[in-house]
Structure 1
């Protein structure tokens, strides 16, 4: 009975040993698989409601319909005016928030859990995406009466750490995930900057109080943190924008009338994480102070009115919250540094619809290119995960993607809030946005493996972890081999009662031996792999040291060249200024002499023109006097002729009356004579006499008529008067024309003087421009020289980086 119990115990031990070997085999197989958990990029969809103007225009054509809480259907518009390429209904699966969704509901369903993760030590990224006028800034900031995700996140953070805020400034975040300790002088500088910054918030204090009161009227949100009593939290915030591919600090205090803010540089730490150099971080103790920073940054941000949006963001804004968990406030010790990064991306635009020009067109081009590169990075990540092949992800082609590279490569959690506009005229843009977000939703992050392929600087950490695991597994193998030997000894010592049991035990032992051999082979492979990695690490370290030496040499050369170029620039500038001053003085003297000559000529011309005007006036006066005398003479002659003609008429009328009387008498005599005459001869004689008398009377009448024609002389005189008046008018006209010509000459002379003055000014401006151009040319040449030196240095560094990347890829393979 005792013998049977021993064999049963032996069999159970063998089964346990077999299970341990299987577990070890699974552990070794996990070395070549992904070391982290897959986590998909979280995508949420928000639909903007219609405005009153859009409803009047007939934009509501049921293009966007919510079929379920996680499905949205996009239909093509019925209006023929809308350019429609696709003519089929398309459905997309997201967590959908409709037009009736409140800001609080959206925050609770999307960002609140990420805020909790940030408080617990995990870095998170939240960014809004969509076309222009889709409601991104409303979702991000919101109005004072209805706050967006950023103010609500600040409210949750400070409600959660109530009574546990570290108010000191002795510890400050540094670079990406690091921190630095500040001296007393540095703390005083931070306090002064914060005080000066908050002085600018006097104008917006009313809106800050109203928004905070609206948030406090709602139920106070907070997260229960499982922390010790001596744990404190230090909160630092920053606010920047990416405008035209330049990074600007929105908290930078610039004097009034100064140009645009200085452009900041994007750098990398030793681990390859991107950070913004010289970006201002402000320590905040309450949600009110943090909201002051938000308001100041929003005031300095680039906004402008376009055809589609009255208040359009012209830059990508990034608000970062760094939370430092500090243990033991008396002797501060930082345990974790987490970051909540909130990005409001500018909307993509179509120039055909916005009709932007000039600066607005340039801004739209830069916005569209950065969003296009973001789409390329998302597509490359998705393709890389589908094919499981190494592929370049173009993060460095844009400042936005370069800065957010760490979040997409496993540094923390990422959330995208997609905003769409359900207008029929925006159907094409809405479809492209939904397609992009559908691709982004399928992207997942393998926290360690993907991060290592993108960052070759983490090889050392990978080697350390693998070496520790191999050591642990080797220890486990030693213990297992010892157990196996003891079991063998026990088997040899025992006597098996039956041949069947003995054969079973032999088979089990053979299986265990084969498994042990496999495990040994895997161990030898792992050790050889570790040795290769160590060699590669030593080579990488040597190359890094060489790169550092090369960079130091290049920096020394650059410093020397900068010093020499500065001296040369100063010499060149002094020479150019002296030469330009001498040329300017000579030209000034020449121009003064020319001006004096022109003044003398103008004075002579004016005197001559005045003399001519006087001479003409004298002539005109003489002509006027002559005309007046002639007119008086003609009037006298006309009056005399009139008197004589009137006397002659009177005489003629008297003579005619006398003749008439004589004719009457003759007729009476003739009648008497006719009555007295009886013969024909007398009648003929009388007839001839009468005819002669009639002829005589006709001659008399013709003379009288000739005299009467003298009356027409008056008309002739009148015509002569009119001709004289016309001549006088012509003379007046000629004098006026002459005066006008003289005035014209005077004006032309004045214009010549003005043109000469303008020429002098233009010459002076030209000289100034030539001075500026000479200075610019000297600076440009110096910049080109520096660029060439930097290009040579960058090429050397790029070659080294390429070699390092190749070796990292070989190692990863």
Structure 2
């Protein structure tokens, strides 16, 4: 420390203490009737040798006036008004601490009190550290309990969880933006591909279809229907095959339900044939209707269908979107775990 600086600071502290209002109450013969704040502002000069930037440090030394039950301890009207102002600033500080400790993104009322506005950077500033020393009076159990509870709420700011929760919330918001942006990119590319698709093709690529199994009918697929015991080729199958339309797999089973008489012919037989040979799985495929038309559902043997892969660029964007969603869900789970642990910690402190 520079020569004479300690002496200068000491003189300032004594000068401030002399200007402080002290009075006698029913509770304390020398009660502090005002808060006292001493701020030491140190500016560090940049180092030309290391190209380091200049920094600054602020040290706040605060002596809080005691929280009092004014109706019990005030001896006149002036002390009653002083006690109301003291309790108001301490109450605001408590609400600020509570809002920060809960880490729920709620409004922090710094401006409701000159004390909290002055100390805002000391409470939540970059690399801020705050400590509270609570003075108790064993002869007054009610005041001692109130003071300890107030100090406990303040100490929650020094908990690892209380600082971790706001950080996790910020990370969740950032990941949410990234996931939303990735989804928008997928939607935009899907729309572009759909607009440029050939007539007759299914031009309905979307996040839903990208996550589903997409298939189309093989050439000469009707030949595989001829001896199938459960399914048969229909005119609708023939139309979908000629248009090379693409559908989404809805169901795969060994034996499909029997089609009821009078129902629409979707490829299932009304009366199943007997077959001793191994029969491949049966697949129900939905073809999305266009221009307001209803979707069509048809049954196929598994070996009649071939999988259709989306464009490589679309697959890459989908993978990036899924990675962003997975990172978001993981961070949300971490946030919920931290909130649960912090709630348990606060319960232990206040019980």
Same fold? TM cut 0.5 = no
| Structure with the largest fraction of helix | 1
TM range (shorter): 0.3 to 0.5
Higher relative CO (Cα under 8 Å, sequence separation at least 6) belongs to 1
Q: Look at both structures and tell me which one has the larger radius of gyration over its CA atoms.
A: 1
Query: Normalising by the residue count of structure 2, what TM-score does the alignment of the two structures yield?
Result: 0.44
